[in-house]
Amino acid sequence: MTSSSARDSRAPAGVVSLTTDYGLADGFVAACHGVIARLAPALRIIDVTHLVPPGDVRRGGAVLAQTVPHLPLGVHVAVVDPGVGTSRRGVALDTPAGLLVGPDNGLLLDAAGALGGITGAVELTNPRWLAPRVSATFHGRDVFAPVAARLALGAPLAEAGPAVDPASLVRLPEPLVRRLPDGFVAEVLTVDGFGNVQLAARSELLDPLPARVRIDPVAGDPAAADSPAGVGGWEREAVHGRTFGDAPVGALVAHADSAGRVALSVNGGHAAALLAVVPGTLLRVRGSGVVGDAPGQYG
């Protein structure tokens, strides 16, 4: 937990990345860039996205976790922070492959896992690292950006504030994934700008399934998921392929996406609209072959 000592001698980081729900129509993102550039004029800043839906901590965490493995070694700031100005902690987490900075509300933990796990954590309380006047509503600018710049310049993590027990960090509930005898149940994790539906299931769960699969929504009780009840309404067949191009235009494809998860896509179309699913929807994916034989049985 006190990896900060190991970090005392680390080289300055290559980049700071930013992931927020600030939107692009205001000057909020630029103010963060400005604060960082004042402290670290030569540092590269990479914007991951600023279009996380306002307050959607899970979505912010998913985008961050899937992007950080492709970024240079650096300090990754994320701010999706409905609790700004309340007593929630600001934290910095150390990992074997970079640092994470943001609110202690679960946003950073999947990314920490993607970077090799938490090896140290501190609460951001050192006033000399923050803006002279910290506003109640804009900790991105006044807390997280200056802390990230200082860490990127090589300042020791332990100077940012007192160590925090990683076990005490706020965690989001794990997205539901259950193996079934003939497939799996998984929660919809995100929908991207093309309408591709990403499931929480790793693609290894899809690999053993046959060339065609059937998909239907199931009831959301995790305890019942080993034998889930379909909620009915629809069932669709999909090609089990390598990419959307493996099916005719308009057809549904289940495939491994570029983050290693199961995704549902429509060649030339919008899978989320077709299926009418949103993040959090539970879907059941099973080997096909009997579809249409007994139309009532999945109701």
The verdict on 95 binding a copy of itself (CB under 8 A) reads: no
Report the nearest approach of a copy of itself to the CB of residue 82 (Å): 6
Report the nearest approach of a copy of itself to the CB of residue 26 (Å): 5
The verdict on 206 binding a copy of itself (CB under 8 A) reads: no
Contacts of 270 (CB under 8 A, 6+ apart): 194, 195
CA 221 to chain centre: 23
Report the nearest approach of a copy of itself to the CB of residue 211 (Å): 16
Report the nearest approach of a copy of itself to the CB of residue 24 (Å): 5
From 4, 7, 16, 22, residue interacting with a copy of itself (rule: CB under 8 A): 22
From 2, 6, 12, 46, residue interacting with a copy of itself (rule: CB under 8 A): 46
Which CB sits closer to a copy of itself, 98 or 183? 98
Which CB sits closer to a copy of itself, 20 or 281? 20
- H and E: helices and strands count for the chain: 7, 14
Q: Is 119 helix (H, G, I), strand (E, B) or coil?
A: coil
Read off φ and ψ for residue 288, nearest 5 degrees. -95, -175
Name the H helices within 137-249.
139, 145-152
From 44, 179, 226, 250, residue interacting with a copy of itself (rule: CB under 8 A): 44
The verdict on 27 binding a copy of itself (CB under 8 A) reads: yes
- Return the DSSP state at 228: P
C-alpha distance across the termini of the chain, in Å: 50
The verdict on 153 binding a copy of itself (CB under 8 A) reads: no
The verdict on 256 binding a copy of itself (CB under 8 A) reads: yes
Strand ranges (E), the chain: 15-20, 44-49, 74-79, 90-95, 98-103, 120-123, 177-180, 183-191, 197-202, 212-217, 236-240, 252-256, 261-266, 282-287
Which pair of tokens denotes residue 53?
């839906």
Which pair of tokens denotes residue 228?
């889930």
The verdict on 227 binding a copy of itself (CB under 8 A) reads: no
Q: How far apart are CA 135 and CA 148, in angstroms?
A: 17
Which CB sits closer to a copy of itself, 56 or 159? 56
From 7, 50, 89, 240, residue interacting with a copy of itself (rule: CB under 8 A): 50
The footprint of a copy of itself (CB under 8 A) covers 14-15, 17, 19, 22-31, 33-35, 37-38, 41, 44, 46-52, 54-55, 63-64, 66-67, 70-72, 82-86, 135-138, 141-142, 190, 192-194, 242-246, 255-258, 263, 265, 268
